[in-house]
Structures are given as C-alpha cells and as structure tokens.
C-alpha cells in the first residue's frame, strides 16, 4: 500500500509488480488446494523522539517484538505519524514537542528570548537553531515572529522541506516555563544592550 499511486511517494510500477507477485502466489496456493489465511497485522511500536532528533535523525535503541532490542538509524526529516519498517517490525514516530522547540507538520517553531531594547530598537541577534548557529536581523518594531525559509524539517520522499519560525519574546515578557540564557543586570546582558543600541544607531 505504501507504493499505491494515490499515496504520497507512491510508485505505479512497484505497485503493479507487487500486485502481480501477489496474484502469482495466490494462483499457486489455489492450484495446490491451500487456502491462504489472512493474518492480523502486527500493531506498530510507538517511538517517541524530540524535534531535534526529527531534524537530524540518528541512532536509537528501539524495542523489537521479534528479537532483542535493536539499534535503528532514524533518518533525518521524520514527521509526527511517520512509519518506519525495519525487518519485520514497524515503528510509528511520535514527536514530543518542547516549549523551546516544536515541530508542526514540515515546520519547526523556535522560541528565543531577546533583550527588550533590541525588540524595540531593532538589531542583530545570534540564535542557536537545529541547523547550527545563525544571525537574524530584528527590524525596529518588527513582529514577534521571523520566518527562516528552508531551515525547518529536511525534505524527504514524502515531505517538502519546511521553514523555521523564530518566536521572539522580550526578556521581561518571557513565558514562565522559559529560562533566560543570561540574567538581567549581568555584564553579558549589559554588553548586549550596548551592542543593540550601537547597531540600531
């Protein structure tokens, strides 16, 4: 069914080959007087990953109904609900979002604390994204969300490349479950304030 032409990533040629093989086997069973019994499919094993793992992929030790736990290489670009077949085992991916980084469809949403004066006056801000460090420019009085095209979840055979949405919160307005990287009033905070003012000027 994964190769059905009506499904994303389907392939008509592979689907027809599988259908022909099934009919050939069915004819051989009938010629031998054996009735093929339908077996209930084994339910998939649920695998929970983080948005960062969905972006990068990597090795995970996963439970296996058919053998002792196995090490599986997760491909980059997994989406919530995707299924992986490894041997006879099927795994269903669930992404557990976090307050600072979450995955929605093809896109990633990153929450970043920014100095209040930079949010008001504008300037350049260094952020850490799943793809590595990046600099973004915060326009004066710009909105709290900046879109970085192409920095979302990677493209796969079934999914397009997503975007990264950076949600900016001024330090004084940050959500209760987020912790600022530096405390207000520290030397590092004061340097950031001076940099923002110089940049805006």
Using 50, 70 and 90 to split pLDDT, how confident is the model at 187? low
Residues 100-130 have pLDDT tens digits of 999 999 999 999 988 888 888 888 889 999 9
Looking from the CA of 152 toward its CB, the CA atoms found within 13 Å total 24
Question: For 20-34, 55-69, 79-93, 176-190, which range has the lowest pLDDT when averaged over its residues?
Answer: 176-190
Residues 144-182 have pLDDT tens digits of 888 999 999 999 998 999 999 999 888 754 443 333 333
The order of strands in the sheet holding 45-49 is 45-49, 89-95, 83-86
Q: Quick check: 71 and 127 in contact, CB under 8 A? A: no
CA 181 to chain centroid: 24
Nearest Cα to Cα of residue 142 among 159, 161, 167, 160: 167
Q: Quick check: 148 and 164 in contact, CB under 8 A? A: yes
CA distance 142 to 193: 18
Within a 10 A sphere around the Cβ of 52, how many other Cβ atoms?
13
């Amino acid at each position: 069914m994964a190769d059905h032409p009506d499904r994303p990533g389907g392939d008509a040629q592979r689907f027809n080959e599988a259908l022909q093989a099934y009919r050939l086997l069915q004819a051989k069973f009938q010629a031998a007087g054996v009735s093929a019994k339908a077996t209930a499919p084994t339910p998939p094993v649920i695998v929970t990953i983080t948005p960062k793992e969905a972006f990068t992929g990597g090795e995970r030790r996963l439970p296996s109904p058919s053998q002792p736990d196995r090490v599986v290489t997760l491909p980059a670009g997994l989406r919530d609900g995707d299924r992986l077949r490894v041997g006879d085992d099927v795994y269903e991916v669930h992404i557990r979002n976090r307050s600072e980084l979450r995955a929605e469809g093809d896109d990633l949403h990153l929450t970043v604390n920014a100095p209040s004066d930079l949010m008001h006056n504008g300037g350049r801000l260094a952020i850490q994204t799943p793809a590595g460090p990046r600099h973004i420019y915060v326009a004066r009085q710009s909105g709290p969300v900046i879109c970085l095209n192409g920095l979302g979840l990677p493209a796969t055979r079934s999914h397009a490349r997503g975007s990264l949405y950076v949600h900016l919160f001024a330090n004084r307005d940050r959500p209760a479950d987020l912790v600022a990287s530096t405390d207000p009033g520290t030397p590092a905070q004061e340097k950031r304030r001076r940099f923002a003012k110089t940049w805006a000027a």
